[in-house]
Amino acid sequence: MSDQRDLIGYDLEEALVNLGRALAPIAAPGLSAAVRRRVEVLPAPAPARPRWIDHLMVRPGRPLRRALVLAVIVLLVLAGLAAAIGFGLPGLRIVILGPDTTPSPVATATALSSMPAGSNASPTVAAMASPIPSLATIEALGLGDRVSLAELDTHVSYHPTLPSLAELGTPIGVYVLGAPAEARVSAAYAGTSAFPAAPGAPTASGIPVAILVMEFPGASPAGYLEKVLPPGTTIEAVTVAGQPGFWIAGAPHDLIYVRTDGSTEPDTTRLAGNVLAWTAGSLTYRIEGAPDLSAAMQIAISMY
Amino acid sequence: MAYEDLVRLYQAAALRTASLILSGEAEAEDAVQDAFVKAYNGLGRFRAGASFRPWILRIVANEARNRRRSAGRRVQLALRLAEDRPSDGAAPSPEAAVLARERRAALLGALTSLSHDDRLVLGYRYFLELGEEEMAEALGIPRGTVKSRLSRALGRLRIQIKAGPPITPFSDGEVPR
């Protein structure tokens, strides 16, 4: 935002932002239901096409054999792709599978093997196909280097905040991944009576982890998290301390950390299917493992 | 995940976009509803992994433009000021609140007199606070031209402000940071 004062006597850009915040919201409580009723009677939309498929698409004048090979690849890929649509917060991209999603392992494996280097769309396919591994320790989840709570600030150039909720206690493990300016901080909390660990949850120092709190710069060039939601997972727009966020609940889902160069790193963090994610300022926060939204909110609010 | 959830997530931004072009909240709501249905039909054209927001906003803006064209009349925008501005911290005095409201009303009046293309550029940037890339996608223009479009729209807004009734300058304290 410019601090310069205009010839008109005030900062026009600032005044416009101010005006935008003073505008009355348009209440349209029945809008989403009305759209649902209208699309319910329509045929299911055609599957979305990731960008990299564009590169594979047949162009006029190409030799027929190549066209046929590409067409087969595209068909196989499309068979494995759902009507995937993505949206997200800065630093967190969420990909949702459509209602008729039944990715077949064969098709997704094909898609995976035909994934071009540098693609940032195809990790979606990889994540859909990957089975949930049973990981014994939280360290095996690729959260980065374990650091002590006392020295956390020395590893991160922004100021990470952790929950202050008494029921949660102090983290049993704190991890930092990446350079200080774009570091992702993860804090693992042991299961308690208020926040029990899920059966088979990964452990830190031999203790089952119930809650995993992560934060990272959302606008970071380091990339973003891509989340694939299988059928049975619900997503709800929520507000956390006035900031936009999502509550993703239901079946466990996979994460892929995608760098800006398109390379990916599987982020196999998973304690349970429930994640509260939101942004505040330039940071994105995620709380994983809370049994329900109100519990997740309790933890989130205690970070302020 | 139902499409309805997606509508809920983006309907506020979509309605704000429509309100930059159309008169009447009901008309804006109708345009947004049609736009979401069209978007559903066009999901196959949506690039997976891309940002959904600028994509749907572009569809909304097109829908609103078409409706406005067919209406063929000068519109009073569906944009209006909230009755009571949410508190941004220290409560202003009643006089200051009235003054601030008058200033905003005057700025809104100046904005209304611009073309809807200018309003869209300004609305995307300052009301929806879209970034350059999202603006480019939502407006369907190259990213490199976003800044110049914004700058020209601001210039025309300044002209309208100068031509209109005087607006008392905002004080620094009014804008929450």
Give the pLDDT confidence of A111-143 residue by residue, as tens digits. 222 223 333 332 232 223 223 334 467 766 678
Q: Taking the model in full, what pTM does it have?
A: 0.47
**Beta-carbon neighbour count of residue A116 at 10 Å?**
12
Disruptive mutation site among A6, A21, A257, A259 for chain B (greatest number of B CBs within 10 Å): A21
CB–CB contact A15 B122 (8 Å): no
CB–CB contact B5 A32 (8 Å): yes
Rounded CA-CA distance A94/B160 in Å is 42
Q: Which of A287, A273, A250 is nearest to A92 (CA)?
A: A287
Which residues touch A178 (CB under 8 Å, ≥6 apart)? A144, A184, A216, A222
Sign, Cα dihedral of B176, B14, B29, B127: positive
CA-based Rg of chain A, rounded to a whole angstrom? 22
CB–CB contact A46 B43 (8 Å): yes
C-alpha pair distances (Å), A256 with each of A71, A91, A128, A266, A272? 28, 12, 10, 5, 16
Which residues touch A141 (CB under 8 Å, ≥6 apart)? A135, A202, A267, A268, A269
CB–CB contact B129 A20 (8 Å): yes
Query: Quick one: pLDDT at residue A66?
Result: 54
Disruptive mutation site among A18, A78, A227, A279 for chain B (greatest number of B CBs within 10 Å): A18
Query: Quick one: pLDDT at residue A226?
Result: 42
Query: Quick one: pLDDT at residue A255?
Result: 46
Q: What is the pLDDT along chain B (177 residues), one digit of tens a residue?
A: 467 877 888 899 999 999 999 988 888 999 999 999 998 887 767 665 567 788 899 999 999 999 887 665 555 666 777 765 544 445 667 777 777 788 888 899 899 889 989 999 999 999 998 989 889 999 999 999 999 999 999 999 999 888 876 555 444 334 433
Three-state DSSP class for residue B133: helix
Rounded CA-CA distance A243/A253 in Å is 24
CB–CB contact A25 B82 (8 Å): yes
Residue A39 near residue B3, CB atoms below 8 Å: yes
Query: Quick one: pLDDT at residue B92?
Result: 64
**Contact B19/A at CB under 8 A:** yes
Nearest CA in chain B to A93: B49
Chain A to chain B Cβ contacts (< 8 Å): 192
Rounded CA-CA distance A189/A70 in Å is 48
Residue B61 near residue B21, CB atoms below 8 Å: yes
**Contact A150/B at CB under 8 A:** no
Q: Which of A231, A37, A86 is nearest to B4 (CA)?
A: A37
Disruptive mutation site among B1, B11, B79, B147 for chain A (greatest number of A CBs within 10 Å): B1
CB–CB contact A42 B41 (8 Å): yes
Instruction: Name the pairing type of β-strands A145-147 and A233-240.
Output: unpaired
Per-position b or e across A31-47, b if 16+ CB within 10 A of its CB? bbebbbeebeeeeebeb
Which residue has tokens 């004080």?
A: B171
Host H or E run for residue A214: strand A207-217
Query: Quick one: pLDDT at residue B76?
Result: 63
Rounded CA-CA distance B113/A47 in Å is 42
Instruction: Name which of B12, B104, B162 is nearest A22 (Cβ-Cβ).
Output: B104
Contacts of residue A120 in chain B, CB cutoff 8 Å? Answer: 49
CB–CB contact A45 B42 (8 Å): yes
Half-sphere exposure of B42 (CA within 13 A, CB side): 15
Contacts of residue A6 in chain B, CB cutoff 8 Å? Answer: 158
Rounded CA-CA distance B173/B177 in Å is 9
In sequence order, which ranges of chain B are alpha helices (DSSP H)? Answer: 3-19, 25-41, 52-71, 94-112, 116-122, 132-139, 146-163
Rounded CA-CA distance A151/A233 in Å is 37
Instruction: Name which of B25, B48, B157 is nearest A84 (Cβ-Cβ).
Output: B48
Query: Quick one: pLDDT at residue A197?
Result: 82
Instruction: Name the pairing type of β-strands A92-96 and A224-229.
Output: parallel
Give the lowest-confidence range in A21-25, A176-180, B52-56, B69-73: B69-73
Rounded CA-CA distance A168/A210 in Å is 9
CB–CB contact A20 B127 (8 Å): yes
In sequence order, which ranges of chain A are alpha helices (DSSP H)? Answer: 12-22, 31-40, 51-56, 64-80, 105-113, 123-129, 152-155, 293-301
Burial of residue B84 (number of CB atoms within 10 Å: 0-12, 13-18, 19+): exposed
Nearest CA in chain B to A97: B1
Query: Quick one: pLDDT at residue A56?
Result: 39
Instruction: Name which of A16, A35, A236 is nearest B7 (Cβ-Cβ).
Output: A35
Query: Quick one: pLDDT at residue A248?
Result: 77
A residues 217-236 closer than 8 Å to B (CB):
226, 229, 233-236
Query: Quick one: pLDDT at residue A57?
Result: 41
Query: Quick one: pLDDT at residue B91?
Result: 60
pLDDT tens track for A261-295? 444 444 444 555 688 888 777 788 888 888 889 89
B residues 88-107 closer than 8 Å to A (CB):
88, 101, 103-104, 107
Nearest CA in chain A to B38: A39
pLDDT cut 90: percent of chain A above it: 7
pLDDT tens track for A203-240? 888 888 889 898 887 643 333 444 445 556 666 778 88
Contacts of residue A96 in chain B, CB cutoff 8 Å? Answer: 1, 6
B residues 65-84 closer than 8 Å to A (CB):
78-83
Name the pLDDT band for A64 (thresholds 50, 70, 90): low
Compute the average pLDDT of residues A89-94.
Answer: 49
CB–CB contact B170 A10 (8 Å): yes
CA A281 to chain centroid, in Å, comes to: 17
Length of chain B: 177
Query: Quick one: pLDDT at residue A50?
Result: 42
**Contact A126/B at CB under 8 A:** no
**Contact A20/B at CB under 8 A:** yes
Which residue has tokens 């320790």?
A: A137
Residue A249 near residue A274, CB atoms below 8 Å: yes
CB–CB contact A18 B129 (8 Å): no
Instruction: Name which of B11, B40, B167 is nearest A31 (Cβ-Cβ).
Output: B11
Host H or E run for residue A285: strand A283-288
pLDDT cut 70: percent of chain A above it: 51
